[in-house]
Amino acid sequence: MSAPLEIAANVITGVSIFLAGRNNLHTWWTGILGCSLFAMLFYQSNLYADVLLQGFFVASSVAGWWQWRHGRMGEPLPVTHASLRTLLRLAFGGVLVTAAYGALLHHYTDAYAPFVDSSVLVFSVIAQLLLLQRRVENWPLWILVNAIAMPLYASRGLYLTAALYGCYLINAIVSWMVWRTLARKPASPILSPFEPPPQRDLP
């Protein structure tokens, strides 16, 4: 049976991820709350790389909140694509850092599955940085991360978390398609349910 902490972390984070896929500004404050709860949960499960990752998510969510709003000379950022060169550099760096950090966890801590756990951390950081910049390619990386995380969390008895990461995987696939459509538009407005729609000039 799932503990209340695991349930709360997954529900709130699920809301945040759904809002991110829908280009909604409120993804950030819900993400701060959900990631704080996940940090406590993963600490209890000896997944130390994931604890560090949640701390990064909290800090980056604060930055993302501002970046989406004012990141382009005071104006909201549009949804765009990352260059192939940038993606190749990120992939190469991600593999190197995963190996190095996994080795540190393996030799100096009692971390469970250190290299797998490290890959979740490193590529989640890369995906989050692309999300901050509103790059479409953050979603394929989230697909990869979720596919790795599901069996990892299930192996630690976090079955609800593993199941919801399966839902996050599906959401990432749908979000990828949504953002690809947004990137074709000259400007991609940030959605917020608490703000009135923009007024159009009458002809």
Average pLDDT over residues 88-97: 96
pLDDT at 99: 96
Which helix (H) or strand (E) element contains residue 71?
none
Strand residue runs (E) in the chain: none
> pTM for the whole thing?
0.77
- DSSP per position, 144-185: HHHHHHHHHHHHTT-HHHHHHHHHHHHHHHHHHHHHHHHHTS
Say whether pLDDT at 1 is over 50.
Answer: no
Contact of 77 with 138, CB cutoff 8 Å: no
Q: What is the pLDDT of residue 40?
A: 92
Average pLDDT of the residues in 85-104: 95
- How far is residue 71 CA from its own chain's centroid? 19
CB atoms within 10 A of CB 136: 20
Q: What is the mean pLDDT of the chain?
A: 85
Q: 111-162, pLDDT tens digit by residue?
A: 889 999 899 989 999 998 999 888 999 999 999 999 999 999 899 888 888 9
pLDDT one-digit tens code per residue, 25-71: 889 999 999 999 999 988 888 888 788 889 988 998 888 888 887 76
Distances (CA, A) of 160 to 26, 63, 81: 24, 29, 33
